[in-house]
Amino acid sequence: MMTGQQYKESLNDGRATYFAGRRVIDFDEVPAFSTPRGHIADSYDLFYRPEPDAVNPMFQAPESKDELRDRIPQLMALDEVTYLTYQCQMTLTTAASRLRSVAPEMTARIDRYVADARRRDIRMVECITDAKGHRGRRPQDQDDQDAYVRVVERRDDGIVVRGAKLHITGTPLAHELLVMPTKAMKPGEEDYAVAFAVPMSAPGLMSVSTSFHPTGHPADYPVSGRLSLPDSFVIFDDVFVPYERVFLDGQTSSAAVFAHSLGLWERLGGTSLMVQQADEIAGLAQLIAEANGVDGYGHVREKIAELTMHATLLRAGLEAALANAERSEDGFYFPSELYTNAARYLAAAGFSAAVQKLQDIAGGSVATVPSMLDLDNPDVGPFVEKYMSTSTEVSGRYRVQLFHAIKDLTADKYGGWWHVVNLHSGGGLYAQRLITRKHYDMTRAKALARRVAGLPDEG
């Protein structure tokens, strides 16, 4: 296993990482990289054991429903790249289990790779979203044949891949990328049916990152300062991948298995985060209503009641996903596809409405609250304190801090990022609706409807 310090040093591997227009050689010079790198290093130190055969227990596939349930809060208490690594490894484990009977050689490769990744204690991120070109056209019908990641050469010892994956969270802070097709592929699209793992230092691999990492007083950004992580544009400019790291190469009928396996684990993680976020929004609404002296008004109480309903139903969806977890043929447990996708969809679809209620209750200071630096300024600080206070029980500082939490979470750079990520991560609302519909028992629903209508049973 690696210590936090060894992890930090391991990122100095010659990777081609770009940020704000220049190549980053020294991560210490870029707070958007060095801050989350510190959080990831802390997680390494938490689990480090010096024995040569030690592995991080967080990455073991859950062998019971309880283990699946317990793992989520444990992982959420750590950094997101560790969570993404779990998702990557569970995606591969799930895909292997689903493909074992049709592709025994490939699944044996996956098993070996996952065991080796755990032994090396590496961190991984998930690359599924292609550039995609014209959305209405299939990969081979694009004007640019590289719009979807594809194999451009097959050699005796491996493949050469070209293309790009977009929006990839955590890229510069991971050791390896897990690359998969973004959707199902059809016969004739063999070159696009490709899945593999590749180190960040592979020749021809480049990443271009953006970040909502804030600058300014840490108390102005209590949420984003803790959670920021770069999202990256990853370019594969003819990257060689040896066969032992290739998990899918031309088997179009198996391409969707990877996308669906990733979608399941990604949406479980996303739903868990959004359940927590829904509780945070309800709590902030109650706190700011009390601080503003409006918690007794009927319309405010109603809005907060609706926030608590939303949070409670999302939690119920997550609970149902875990309670209805299924045992794979390989013996590990995975969450219910139906409840995971339905809960993730409702969380994303209801997010804007929940934020609207919180901001409505809180007032305009969500946008205009003075900085903590102004509060600490001897000239204007006492006035900020005086006029932001609402009574002898509610100090100006307390209210300013609450407003910064609401602003950071919902109205600033990170808040804007969340509005988009809630809609699009996990494949977007459309994909979640599609999978929910696929797993919903429509036969039963139709039989019930026939009975209500007094119609005879079908067939």
Ligand X SMILES: Cc1cc2nc3c(=O)[nH]c(=O)nc-3n(C[C@H](O)[C@H](O)[C@H](O)COP(=O)(O)OP(=O)(O)OC[C@H]3O[C@@H](n4cnc5c(N)ncnc54)[C@H](O)[C@@H]3O)c2cc1C
- The position carrying tokens 């405010």 is 300
Q: Does 274 bind ligand X (CB under 6 A)?
A: no
Phi-psi domain of 16 (left: phi exceeds 0; alpha: psi -120 through 50; beta: other): beta
* Among the residue ranges 194-202, 272-280, 405-413, 414-422, the one whose residues contact ligand X (CB under 6 A): 414-422
Q: Does 424 bind ligand X (CB under 6 A)?
A: yes
Q: Tell me the closest approach of the beta carbon of residue 252 to ligand X, in angstroms.
A: 17
Q: Tell me the closest approach of the beta carbon of residue 267 to ligand X, in angstroms.
A: 11
- Candidates 6, 34, 35, 132; binder of ligand X (CB under 6 A) is 132
Please identify, using beta-carbon distances, which residue of 239 and 300 lies nearer to ligand X.
239
* Among the residue ranges 56-64, 95-103, 160-168, 185-193, the one whose residues contact ligand X (CB under 6 A): 160-168
CA separation, residue 318 to residues 67, 268, 365, 430 (Å): 15, 8, 33, 19
Q: Tell me the closest approach of the beta carbon of residue 110 to ligand X, in angstroms.
A: 18
Residue 408: closest CA among 450, 441, 359, 458: 359
Please identify, using beta-carbon distances, which residue of 125 and 388 lies nearer to ligand X.
125
Q: Does 413 bind ligand X (CB under 6 A)?
A: no
Q: Does 268 bind ligand X (CB under 6 A)?
A: no
x/- contact string, 226-255, with ligand X (CB under 6 A)?
Answer: -----x------------------------
3-state secondary structure of 137: coil
Cβ-in-10-Å burial (0-12, 13-18, 19+) of 389 comes to: middle
Q: Does 134 bind ligand X (CB under 6 A)?
A: no
Q: Does 126 bind ligand X (CB under 6 A)?
A: yes
Kindly identify the residues of this chain, within the stretch 327-346, that bind ligand X according to CB under 6 A: none
**Which H or E run includes 281?**
helix 255-292
The number of angstroms, rounded, from the C-alpha of 96 to the middle of its chain's C-alpha atoms is 22
Q: Does 169 bind ligand X (CB under 6 A)?
A: yes
Cβ-in-10-Å burial (0-12, 13-18, 19+) of 52 comes to: exposed
Question: CB of 48 within 8 A of CB of 2?
Answer: yes
Please identify, using beta-carbon distances, which residue of 370 and 426 lies nearer to ligand X.
426
* Among the residue ranges 6-14, 377-385, 395-403, 417-425, the one whose residues contact ligand X (CB under 6 A): 417-425
Question: CB of 355 within 8 A of CB of 282?
Answer: no
- Total residues binding ligand X (CB under 6 A): 20
Q: Does 186 bind ligand X (CB under 6 A)?
A: no
**Which H or E run includes 241?**
strand 231-242
Q: Does 167 bind ligand X (CB under 6 A)?
A: yes
Cβ atoms within 10 A of the Cβ of 54, count? 13
Site for ligand X, rule CB under 6 A: 125-129, 132, 135, 165, 167-169, 231, 417, 420-421, 424-425, 427-428, 430
